[in-house]
Amino acid sequence: MAIRIIVFDLGRVLIDFDPAGYLRSLGCDEEMTAALLQTVFQVDWPRYDRGDYETVDALCDELCRKYPAYALVLRRALTPDWVKIHTLKADTAAYLSMLKQRGYRVYLLSNLAKESYDFIGRYPFFKEVDGGVFSYQERVCKPDERIYRVLLERYELAPEECVFLDDSPANIDTARRLGMYGIVFETLPAAKAALEALLQQDETTAN
């Protein structure tokens, strides 16, 4: 079957998200930044993305109880304004638009908290996509295959017609296990080259 559908992750694909840089901008040294990345952003953050906490304030209260040594910096970092660290990757968004113009259907599949969704949903590419599935709505995060199945079943997508672009190899592994093509997104030029080669191969095979 021909490739008809391109599925994009958001963070570090369509949206820049740099918690390490954000923490450094607040005055955290390298040791503190590494510690928070290994605990808060790797261990606890998925619960926020999953919708266990409706607000970052509620998450912050829980983290301050769990990590009292980090309470001061957590109170500075996890304010309602933290969502402003999500910035548009305009080059990837432009490529998404180009793919739409070429006739491909485009979807989003992302681990994303509600407050993040409310903030980045203002970017124009959200109006161009054919649909999307987000962890806070489904109460499950990638790489759990259940969230991929939601996407496939809700929009009646055949996995062999889909290519998924995500910055996480683990997330790509799940997509491939379910029968989708997968490209680990490291830079746009590399991901674009891999996708275009795949699309060209698909067109050649079809002809």
User: What is the sign, positive or negative, of the torsion defined by CA atoms of 136, 11, 191, 20?
Assistant: negative
Of all residues in the chain, what percent carry a pLDDT higher than 90?
A: 94
Q: Report pLDDT for 205.
A: 72
- Residue 98 has which token pair? 């180009």
Task: Find the mean pLDDT for residues 119-143.
Answer: 97
Q: Check pLDDT > 80 for residue 204.
A: no
Q: Check pLDDT > 90 for residue 202.
A: no
Domain boundaries, the chain: 5-15+86-206, 18-84
Closest CA to 78 of 14, 26, 135: 26
Q: Report pLDDT for 206.
A: 64
Q: Report pLDDT for 203.
A: 73
pLDDT in tens, 91-119: 999 999 999 999 999 999 999 999 999 99
Architecture of the domain spanning 5-15+86-206: 3-Layer(aba) Sandwich (3.40)
The more confidently predicted of residues 41 and 10 is 10
Q: Report pLDDT for 57.
A: 95
